[in-house]
Chain A
């Protein structure tokens, strides 16, 4: 039985889909069989970021309505043979989802994959609720800014009250990814510090991802940034994926990363 991970954020535009794609590819590169499912019905993006846009024939609504089998709908990634992708429907809206259908789909995926990553839509509406309903672990993606933190806080609150695991008496492990950290802005106090965010949200830290201009280009080209060996964000996602697979990887001090050798010397003299 695999682990079902829901990637949530509350606020939109913080990097949920990018994180989903990179983590999925990361764990696949670590040798785990991974399926990534786009739950953002009507506004799917994950296919573009994974570079599988033109390969989508069947989507998850086809599978739920039994118009196609799961194996027909799952798309194998070009980047790694362990990674499979299930697209969201672009033509339907979120009202086609219901609990029994979602449960059946998630249970089927769990049987044949080590990791099932569900990319949640933004907001806290029914689409979000279906994503978290049957998740074992939630990855909360935030940006170091107050609006993102508050929305994430709300999303965690809903997760804690609506999740099936919580209703069964278990708890859902919640892991935090702080995305798009600009080290200079954190040091000057313009951006929230990781410690403050952790204090507010009170969940475990999975990793910090620095702001990286390469992410946009990587998304546009359909090659997740984790494939770029020189990218700081890509390396951060590599560490995160390794942690998810159970490896012990030390936390890098992302906030101080930008302080290169030259800058340090300049820093001494100023």
Chain B
């Protein structure tokens, strides 16, 4: 045996007046194409024919497990509408709709203008910031001692040591020529650092394995979320190969 279980939306209606019923369905039959209609009361052949002609699915006089039925009070006013009122309502609705559409259009235009202005301002700010970062190179030729904390917006060229217990927070790129034993938090495009086995370096929120740093300067970059360390070696002479 094979059984299938469906969740069906059911519309339950009891028929009191045949004409009323048919006029209601004339108006709303599209809403019921995917539903099961359960009819109560006296059902004439006329109604059956009508429902079949609209290819609606229906059952007659069945008790349903009524746990969560939604009661819809059908307004007889609508079902009894003659053509005049129908037209009036349609007209009203289209008018209202047009009005609303116009209003929203206006709102939209206004908002668009505001947003464009804001965008311009933000862009200008960003440009300013970028310019500042670009031209904001700090050069320090002293050492950073334990307990000292440097917070720098732009780039930094540091010619002294970074001692154990010192911290450097920097938004731009960083070049340190001496040994680092403290902590570095760098969010820039690149770092140039020498071999510093005791350092604690975090580059763009990723910890740099300081054991990978070779003697001499190393270039540290971020590519596809991975840290790439390239030792800058002395250039070897490439002889011509014949």
Measured CA separation A149–B181 after assembly (Å): 12
Chain A residues in 8 Å Cβ range of B164: 146, 149-150, 153, 200
Stretch binding the partner chain, chosen from A101-109, A154-162, A218-226 = A154-162
- A to B contact number (C-beta, < 8 Å): 32
Q: B145 to A156, Cβ gap below 8 A?
A: yes
Q: Is A199 an interface residue (CB 8 A)?
A: yes
- Residues of A within 8 Å of B, CB-based: how many? 13
Chain A residues in 8 Å Cβ range of B163: 150, 153, 200
Q: Residue of A at shortest CB range from B160?
A: A202
Q: Chain B 160-191 against A: per-residue CB contact (8 Å), 1 yes, 0 no?
A: 11011100000000000000010000000000
Subset of 12 A-B contacts with CB under 8 Å: A146-B164, A150-B163, A151-B146, A153-B146, A153-B163, A153-B164, A154-B147, A154-B165, A160-B145, A200-B163, A202-B160, A202-B161
Q: Residue of B at shortest CB range from A151?
A: B146
Q: Which residues of B contact A (CB under 8 A)?
A: 143, 145-148, 160-161, 163-165, 181
Within 8 A of B (CB), among A179-233: 199-200, 202
Q: B161 to A199, Cβ gap below 8 A?
A: yes
The 7 lowest CB-CB distance pairs between A and B, nearest first, are: A157-B145, A153-B146, A154-B147, A154-B146, A153-B145, A150-B146, A150-B164
Chain A residues in 8 Å Cβ range of B145: 153-154, 156-157, 160
Measured CA separation A157–B148 after assembly (Å): 7
Minimum CB–CB distance for B147 against chain A, Å = 4
Minimum CB–CB distance for A204 against chain B, Å = 14
Measured CA separation A144–B145 after assembly (Å): 18
Q: Which residues of A contact B (CB under 8 A)?
A: 146, 149-151, 153-154, 156-158, 160, 199-200, 202
Q: Is the interface of B mostly helix, strand, loop or mixed?
A: loop
Minimum CB–CB distance for B230 against chain A, Å = 27
Q: Residue of B at shortest CB range from A10?
A: B146
Measured CA separation A199–B178 after assembly (Å): 10
Contacts A153-B147, A157-B146 known; list 10 others, CB within 8 Å: A146-B164, A149-B164, A150-B163, A150-B164, A150-B165, A151-B146, A153-B146, A154-B146, A157-B148, A200-B181
Q: Residue of A at shortest CB range from B163?
A: A153
Chain B residues in 8 Å Cβ range of A202: 143, 160-161
Measured CA separation A160–B160 after assembly (Å): 16
Q: Residue of A at shortest CB range from B145?
A: A157
Measured CA separation A149–B143 after assembly (Å): 15
Q: Residue of A at shortest CB range from B147?
A: A154
Q: Residue of A at shortest CB range from B142?
A: A202
Q: Residue of B at shortest CB range from A159?
A: B145
Chain A residues in 8 Å Cβ range of B165: 150, 153-154
Minimum CB–CB distance for A259 against chain B, Å = 30
Measured CA separation A156–B166 after assembly (Å): 13
Measured CA separation A47–B165 after assembly (Å): 34
Residue of B147, B160, B181 near A157 (CB, 8 A) is B147
Chain A residues in 8 Å Cβ range of B161: 199-200, 202
Q: A158 to B143, Cβ gap below 8 A?
A: no
